[in-house]
Amino acid sequence: MLIIPAIDIIDGKCVRLTQGDYNQKKVYNEHPLEVAKAFEGAGITHLHLVDLDGARARHIVNYKVLETIASKTSLTIDFGGGLKSDQDVHIAFESGAHQITGGTIAVKGAAIFTNWINKYGGDKIILGADVKDRKIAVHGWEETSDLDLFDFVADYQTKGIQRVICTDIAKDGMLEGAATDLYKELIDRFADLEIIASGGVSDLADLERLAEVGCHGAIVGKALYEGRIRLEDVRIY
């Protein structure tokens, strides 16, 4: 199972939110590159980089942070947050993203998102499925749709998606454990997809449970920043 640390960016700084609430923001480092280099130095190979300013502005904002990390580390970066146009995606890839993640655009602009899958391939475009009570949430989690998680994923599987990052908003930033049962359901139903868990990971036991149910990867944020999980311990996965 891939361990994928998350760096969330607001005003060019490394932050974490609680349940996606911009009013519950904590700055962990003013220099995201330092954080990325620490991950790389510990043997981490992948990074989940989120442009929270972009998610709110609904267009890419912090591409310079992406460019800096991509050019000064060898991390495989998936980038998301505010990607709403062909130009946004072009900028993200030109700035060094290996993959991009689309959530809101996959709901509100399905034709655009499907075109990205066709243009770049299912290995480059990741489906972001952010859920609240099993319904898909959009616009930086500030709005919940009526779209069922499983129907959403099934539809995009037919369109060529290979990888899904699923975040249970109720768990995100709470350090109370991941939604393991939900991920097991996804894995059981979509055996051909790579399911990446996101939200709630609080300790190594959470990672063990996610690995046991078959998650392709697990995104870890606050648990690393708060010292609940040490970087030197995650390489066993």
Bridge partners (DSSP) of residue 128 are: 165
Q: Give the residue carrying structure tokens 């949430």.
A: 137
Catalytic residue among 53, 130, 172, 206: 130
- Whether 203 sits among the annotated catalytic residues: the reply is no
**Spatial distance between the Cα atoms of 46 and 58, rounded to a whole number of angstroms:** 25
- CA 55 → CA 20, 93, 177, 198, 209, distances in Å? 11, 17, 25, 17, 30
Let me know: does 80 contact 102? Beta carbons within 8 Å. Answer: yes
Residue type, 35: V
* Structure token digits, residue 124: 């480059």
Q: Which residue has the tokens 């989690």?
A: 141
Element (H, E) at 51: strand 46-51
Distance CA 200, CA 206 (A): 9
Which residue has 């959530």 as its token pair?
103
**DSSP secondary structure code for residue 228 in this structure:** S
For helices 32-41 and 63-72, the axis angle rounded to 10 degrees is: 30
Q: What is the spatial distance between Cα 114 and Cα 81, in angstroms, rounded to a whole number? A: 17
Active-site entry in 8, 88, 168, 206: 8
> For residues 108 and 130, is the Cβ–Cβ distance under 8 A?
no
| Known active-site residue 130 | yes
Catalytic residues: 8, 130
